[in-house]
Structure 1
Amino acid sequence: MMTPARGVALMVLGTLAMAASAAMISAIDGEPLSVAAWRCLLAVPMLLPLAAWELLRRRGRANLSRGTMIGALIAGVALGVDYSFYNTSINMIGPGIATVLINVQVVILPLIAWAMEGVRPMRQLALIIPLMLAGVALTAGALDLGNVQLAGVLAGLAAGTGYALYLAIIRRTAPKEPRRHRSAPFTILSLVCLSAGVTTALTAAGLGRLEVPQGLEGWGPMLALAFVGQVLTYLCFNVAMTAISETASSTLMLLSAVFAVALAAVLFADIPSAWQLVGCAMIIGGAWWSAAAARRRAGGAVPPTLPAGSSERNRTSSRR
């Protein structure tokens, strides 16, 4: 039986796996588009058993609609953009800060809703956006003019934007079912990964940048990344979310950024400056504030979001 305590433990394990995937990308140090492509394509056969199990459990209920499946494929394109820029950011500024920057998606999402549907954003964004932008500036090294890392930070912000687009599409096309049914997340995630993998592979090939891993030394890390980043992370999230609230899950997902910074420091001696740590704290704090305000505004009715990379980091999520 999945108890709340076990749910919290699984959620923490999932966020640790998400942070570990960032460290693995840094260790692979490959061409960003190629790493994104293989991460997603190799995850598809790993996800198929979970998707088949879900479809068997859905017997007696309506099949996933065509709109849901098309939405997953379109969302996969956005996720491919997210992963490509995320990998670029990791290569330039390290896995810790790159993972922190992904959290800008929490303020981009309401702006997308405003532009697409006329839904006015919550008033708190007038304070949250400047707070997070100041955090981004500090993270980029704005107070250390000899070490400004603008290109890597811009890549991280582009990744957060791609992730926000992914979430916006998934949330608008996901089947409307009771929370306990979980809306076949692994089936949807399989379609997302297939779309993201094919899109990034074709783009890399068209640009002459597609790298094919060679031997066990090449394929081994890619297979591990696909398993940890796509399968283990979201298996933990899906099971955990059946036992804990959306408030707890979305808050715990922010630990992925903390874990990523810690792992980068331990594994790669990638230690941010004091001001960069302050900037990271401002970004994570702004993300938490935005998520909490959104839940209060919706009266606690905000459905959990499953990243495929996020994430739905909530997604969170998810920036993975």
Structure 2
Amino acid sequence: MYLNLGVKDLGSNSVKKSGGSNARAYIILMIGILALAFTAPWVKQSNFEPATSVILRCGIGLLALLPFAFREVKKIGALNKKGVILSVLAGLFLGIDFTAWNYSIYYVGSGIASILLNLQIIILPALAFLFDRERVPKTYFIVAPIMILGVIMSGGVFEGSAGPVDGPATVYGMNIAILGTICGMISGVCYGIYLYTSRKATKVNMGQIVQPMAWATAAQLVAPAIFMLFFSDRGFDLTHGVMVNGALPMNPETTLGDPITGMNWFWMLVLGILGQAVAWTFVQYGSVRLNSTIVAGLLLLSPISTVAIIAIVLFGEIPSVLQILGVVIVLGAVAYQNNLFAGLMKKTKGDKSLPG
């Protein structure tokens, strides 16, 4: 789900000091990536109303983070005022991201929703250019429209169907594939804003990892709460879910999903602890300690695993040929924008020059 975190690479000196710490960073990063790959399926398995799901996920995640945040304060000090402001701002946009993304998961499937989120790779450079005057490579203007085309193809918009998701053809009078893609694109835009803001936050703190996550997670509660109050007829619903027997009902606007069971609560706890607290903190930890090109490559494993393996096995979400082509375009654009291909080519050339 989460590529190009926008975290400044701390350089190789810090990771060369200790092979053990480098290995630990890889292990922690891979655990975080594995958790991220299951995040969308866990949202679907918990089956809570989308805004309710965000509040529960972030609330549980915040409770899990607080003891470690307090420990971090005692160990290296509290996050400074600017760091807190930037973390809260980042969390506000991430709350919008999560709410829109949850709807996308139900409308176009957990695998495709994980792909749509990667629209962030064209948002982050644009924000850096507009506000920080960072140079944007000329290839960006080629990659951006290709990326948007891939996102639209992935959502099934050109086919006029919801792709792998069983259920109604329309929701709120709109084609469900189009609505799901729009939700996914809103999610990707807000995620890009989050990445931009969180990147700036990493430059003003003293190496804290857990505290920025805790502040951002608390701020994520705002967007779904506002959505419940002003835009949702369901409100904070702890009694009924979204899907009926694993699929959207034919009129999800008015039909309640299956009653929430102990198993739904189990998956919500897993989502809150592993998908929120562990995933985000572990990926952040590994990202600031390892080479940025390697991290970008490893992070590609998350959406690939979700769409190509997990969503198919758990929910039978089999994308169409056109959607698969869109997925390939999106992932290729992500890899190119993260300089993954160039980094791998340099590494290959370097290996060939070694003796033996």
Q: TM-score range by the shorter chain?
A: 0.7 to 0.9
Unpaired runs of at least 5, structure 2: 1-18, 163-174, 240-260, 344-356
Alignment equivalent of 2:316, drawn from 236, 247, 269: 269
* More off after superposition, 269-278 vs 90-99: 269-278
- Partner residue of 2:334? 287
Name the CA distance, whole Å, in 2 between partners of 1:52 and 1:166.
24
**Shift of residue 120 of structure 1?**
4.1
Q: Does 1:56 align with 2:74?
A: yes
Name the CA distance, whole Å, in 2 between partners of 1:137 and 1:238.
29
Change beyond 3 A, Cα 1:146–1:190? closer
How many residues of Structure 1 are paired with residues of Structure 2 in the alignment? 289
**Shift of residue 130 of structure 1?**
2.4
Percent of counterpart pairs with the same letter? 26
1:34, 1:209 within 8 Å by CA — same for their partners in 2? Answer: no
Q: CA RMSD in A?
A: 2.5
- Partner residue of 2:234? 209
Judging by fraction of residues, say which structure has more helix: 1
- Partner residue of 1:174? 202
Report the TM-score, using the length of structure 1 for normalisation. 0.82
- Partner residue of 2:104? 89
**Shift of residue 45 of structure 1?**
1.1
2:52, 2:224 within 8 Å by CA — same for their partners in 1? Answer: yes
2:154, 2:326 within 8 Å by CA — same for their partners in 1? Answer: yes
Name the CA distance, whole Å, in 1 between partners of 2:341 and 2:97.
23
Q: Does 1:190 align with 2:237?
A: no
Q: Does 1:131 align with 2:159?
A: no
1:46, 1:231 within 8 Å by CA — same for their partners in 2? Answer: yes
1:65, 1:175 within 8 Å by CA — same for their partners in 2? Answer: no
Could you give the per-residue CA deviations for residues 269-299 of structure 1, whole angstroms, max 9, x where no partner exists?
A: 0011122112111101101111118998xxx
**Shift of residue 91 of structure 1?**
0.6
Correspondence list, 1:154-165, <5 A: 154-165=182-193
Q: Does 1:76 align with 2:91?
A: yes
1:80, 1:197 within 8 Å by CA — same for their partners in 2? Answer: yes
Matched AA of 1:193: T
- Partner residue of 1:252? 298
**Shift of residue 169 of structure 1?**
1.5
**Shift of residue 175 of structure 1?**
4.0
Report the TM-score, using the length of structure 2 for normalisation. 0.74
Matched AA of 2:190: G
- Partner residue of 1:21? 39
Could you give the per-residue CA deviations for residues 81-118 of structure 1, whole angstroms, max 9, x where no partner exists?
A: 00001101001001111101111101111112233344
Matched AA of 1:256: S
Could you give the per-residue CA deviations for residues 186-209 of structure 1, whole angstroms, max 9, x where no partner exists?
A: 111111111111442243134453
- Partner residue of 1:308? none
- Partner residue of 1:37? 55
Aligned partner of residue 272 in structure 1, secondary structure:
coil
2:297, 2:340 within 8 Å by CA — same for their partners in 1? Answer: no
Alignment equivalent of 2:126, drawn from 102, 111, 122: 111
1:79, 1:166 within 8 Å by CA — same for their partners in 2? Answer: yes
1:86, 1:155 within 8 Å by CA — same for their partners in 2? Answer: yes
Name the CA distance, whole Å, in 1 between partners of 2:35 and 2:217.
18
Name the CA distance, whole Å, in 1 between partners of 2:281 and 2:342.
24
**Shift of residue 134 of structure 1?**
2.4
Matched AA of 2:292: E
Name the CA distance, whole Å, in 2 between partners of 1:166 and 1:13.
22
Alignment equivalent of 1:99, drawn from 114, 122, 125: 114
Matched AA of 2:186: A
* More off after superposition, 190-199 vs 233-242: 233-242
Change beyond 3 A, Cα 1:184–1:273? same
Name the CA distance, whole Å, in 2 between partners of 1:223 and 1:53.
23
* More off after superposition, 99-108 vs 284-293: 284-293
Change beyond 3 A, Cα 1:205–1:295? farther
Name the CA distance, whole Å, in 1 between partners of 2:129 and 2:186.
19
* More off after superposition, 199-208 vs 13-22: 199-208
2:97, 2:186 within 8 Å by CA — same for their partners in 1? Answer: yes
2:213, 2:281 within 8 Å by CA — same for their partners in 1? Answer: no
Name the CA distance, whole Å, in 2 between partners of 1:140 and 1:131.
14
Name the CA distance, whole Å, in 2 between partners of 1:269 and 1:213.
27
